[in-house]
């Protein structure tokens, strides 16, 4: 009995870390500052890495966010001596596969952190060199991520950087011109305005400011070289057709209500198309789904994560609409028009959960930060009575997805012990997280969770190999 109890505790520890690694980014949230977030998150990383190292590494195969993926890689490489040969081989494959998915600027920051910590063991050097060798265009990196590539090369001293690439990074005044057009454009952009329009947007932006080019003129001429996300950030015409669901939801919420209403058909069509892509073959297979979606004032998030919780809820709304055969959406504010939702008012989760259960659905999905306050605790009591008295056979599946990390609790805030809760950062991950949430009910132990993680690792590595 004691062994079973310890096994369940271990599973809860691991799930607590997974929830944190999915939602937390060390930034300010609505109810906690950045310092609290970082301190809480660092403790969890240390605790799980020391006590459950194989599971800690396996988290790289899950939908953890980029901030925590980089932190896991850094900690594994800094503590390589604590792992055996087999563990190091398994970790190396996971690290290589995850680095290939991370944005290059984050990888270069990770390598800079390893250099600052003087982590330069053989495994680290091999991983860095392999990642650089796999980059499609190091000349592009030399221009766009110049300081990162230079610091990385200095740290591991790879032989990949030779010839004019090496001169560009380490001897910038040595050559009168470069054969590579990007490198030469960077050289010429110091004194010729025309050359800056041959550079990546983020690099050209600095040269444009130096030359005093008017912003509108610069944006118009550089537009062909801007990526989709750069166009979105610069408030240019965004290509909504291929934008991921949660990012698209954030874009929609950043528009004024009048603009959303004026572009209703375009925006709704784009959101539904993105939701159908995310649903894939599962579209229409979830039966009757009732969703409780939090658009209370706390869904604003914070100054650095503006409207992020609400964007996740809006993305989940359209994804659940695509997954369900019959769909009942219930916003905490009582809103009927999802395109015009805004963060305001209290969080009457209990009332909305009652409304959801009255619809007799196959599934109830709650997307909220878990701060039930109108009245406090009603949602938890409703769910407790529902599970113990009215639906002990679990004919209706209930899951709570929380987009906000609670630094004080080292986890995402839960509504009731009888309802599984999982952290969520992107609405696109909803289906996978509902699967993970089954382990949060306290009825499965570490062995079952490890088996699930092993399957995810296998699929992750197969996808990386392809």
The pLDDT assigned to 155 comes to 85
**Averaged pLDDT, 265-273:** 96
Which pLDDT tens digit goes with each residue over 206-234? 999 999 999 999 999 998 888 877 877 77
pLDDT at 436: 81
Confidence class of residue 121 from pLDDT cuts 50, 70 and 90?
Answer: confident
Q: Given this model, what pLDDT does residue 28 score?
A: 93
Predicted local distance difference test score (pLDDT) of residue 423: 94
The residues near 96 (Cβ < 8 Å, ≥ 6 apart) are: 127, 130, 131, 464
Q: What is the pTM of this model?
A: 0.90
In this prediction, residues 375-396 reach a mean pLDDT of 90
User: Residue 464: CB partners within 8 Å, gap ≥ 6?
Assistant: 96, 97, 100, 101
Among 56-60, 134-138, 302-306, 388-392, name the most confident range. Answer: 56-60
For 39, the 3-state DSSP assignment is helix
**Predicted local confidence at residue 434, as pLDDT:** 85
Distance CA 365, CA 329 (A): 10
Phi-psi region of 65 (alpha: psi -120 to 50; beta: other; left: phi over 0): beta
Plot region of 22 (φ>0 → left; ψ -120 to 50 → alpha; else → beta): alpha
Give pLDDT, residue 439. 76
Region of poorest pLDDT, from 32-46, 169-183, 273-287:
169-183
**80-98: per-residue pLDDT in tens?**
889 999 999 999 999 999 9
pLDDT given for residue 393 in this prediction:
86
- Which whole number is the average pLDDT over 237-250? 86
Q: With cut-offs at 50, 70 and 90, classify the pLDDT of residue 1.
A: very low
Predicted local confidence at residue 10, as pLDDT: 80
Q: What is the pLDDT of residue 443?
A: 56
Residue 289, SS3?
A: strand
Q: What kind of fold does domain 241-465 have according to CATH? A: Rossmann fold (3.40.50)
At residue 100, the pLDDT reads 95
Picking from 111, 112, 110, 103, the residue whose alpha carbon sits closest to that of residue 135 is 103
- The structure tokens listed for 234 are 């610069």
Q: What percent of the chain has pLDDT over 70?
A: 95
Q: Kindly tell me if the per-residue pLDDT of 296 is higher than 90.
A: yes
The set of long-range contacts for 136-141, using a CB threshold of 8 Å and a minimum separation of 24, is 138/165, 139/165, 139/180, 139/182, 139/183, 140/182, 140/200, 141/104
CA separation for the pair 160, 138 (Å, rounded):
9
Query: Average pLDDT for residues 129-135, to the nearest whole number?
Result: 92
d(CA 330, CA 327): 10
Angle at 426 between CA 347 and CA 40, to 5 degrees: 75
pLDDT (0 to 100) of residue 176: 87
Tell me the mean pLDDT in the region 55-78.
Answer: 95
Q: Is 285 helix (H, G, I), strand (E, B) or coil?
A: coil
> Residue 284 pLDDT more than 90?
yes
CATH 3.40.50 domain extents, the chain: 241-465
What average pLDDT does the segment 147-171 reach?
Answer: 85
Average the pLDDT over 32-44 and give the result: 95
Residue 235's pLDDT is 63
As a whole number, mean pLDDT of residues 94-108 equals: 96
How many Å apart are CA 419 and CA 460, to the nearest integer? 28
pLDDT of residue 185: 94
Q: What is the pLDDT of residue 236?
A: 53
Q: What is the mean pLDDT of residues 64-89?
A: 94
**Which tens digits make up the pLDDT trace of 403-449?**
999 999 999 999 988 889 999 999 999 988 887 887 766 556 678 88
pLDDT greater at residue 237 or residue 254: 254
């Amino acid at each position: 009995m004691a062994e079973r109890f310890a096994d369940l505790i271990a599973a809860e520890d691991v799930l607590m870390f997974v929830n944190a690694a999915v939602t937390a980014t060390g930034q300010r949230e609505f109810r906690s500052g950045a310092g609290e977030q970082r301190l809480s998150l660092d403790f969890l990383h240390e605790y799980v890495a020391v006590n459950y190292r194989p599971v800690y590494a396996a988290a790289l195969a899950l939908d953890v966010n980029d901030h925590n993926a980089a932190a896991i890689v850094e900690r594994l490489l800094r503590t390589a001596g604590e792992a055996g040969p087999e563990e190091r081989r398994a970790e190396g494959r996971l690290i290589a596969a995850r680095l290939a998915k991370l944005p290059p600027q984050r990888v270069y920051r990770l390598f800079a952190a390893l250099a600052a910590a003087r982590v330069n063991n053989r495994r680290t050097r091999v991983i860095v060199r392999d990642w650089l060798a796999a980059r499609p265009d190091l000349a592009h990196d030399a221009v766009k991520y110049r300081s990162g590539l230079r610091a990385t090369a200095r740290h591991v001293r790879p032989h990949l950087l030779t010839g004019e690439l090496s001169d560009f990074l380490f001897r910038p005044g040595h050559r009168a011109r470069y054969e590579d057009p990007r490198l030469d454009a960077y050289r010429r952009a110091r004194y010729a305005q025309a050359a800056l329009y041959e550079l990546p947007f983020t690099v050209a932006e600095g040269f444009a400011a130096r030359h005093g080019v008017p912003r509108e003129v610069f944006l118009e001429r550089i537009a062909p070289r801007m990526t989709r996300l750069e166009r979105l950030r610069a408030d240019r015409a965004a290509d909504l057709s291929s934008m991921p669901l949660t990012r698209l939801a954030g874009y929609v919420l950043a528009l004024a209500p009048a603009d959303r209403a004026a572009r209703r058909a375009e925006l709704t069509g784009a959101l539904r198309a993105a939701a159908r892509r995310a649903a894939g073959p599962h579209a229409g297979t979830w039966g009757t789904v009732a969703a409780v979606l939090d658009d209370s004032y706390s869904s604003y998030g914070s100054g650095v994560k503006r409207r992020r919780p609400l964007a996740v809820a809006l993305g989940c709304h359209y994804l659940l609409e695509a997954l369900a055969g019959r769909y009942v959406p219930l916003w905490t504010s009582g809103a009927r028009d999802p395109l015009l939702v805004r963060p305001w008012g209290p969080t009457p989760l209990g009332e909305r959960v009652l409304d959801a259960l009255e619809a007799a659905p196959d599934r109830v999905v709650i997307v909220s930060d878990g701060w039930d306050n109108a009245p406090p605790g009603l949602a938890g009591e409703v769910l407790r009575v529902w599970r113990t008295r009215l639906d002990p056979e679990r004919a209706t599946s209930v899951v709570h997805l929380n987009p906000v990390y609670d630094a004080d609790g080292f986890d995402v805030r839960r509504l009731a012990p009888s309802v599984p809760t999982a952290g969520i950062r992107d609405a696109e991950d909803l289906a996978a997280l509902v699967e993970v949430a089954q382990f949060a009910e306290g009825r499965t132990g570490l062995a079952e969770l490890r088996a699930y993680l092993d399957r995810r690792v296998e699929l992750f590595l197969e996808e990386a190999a392809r």
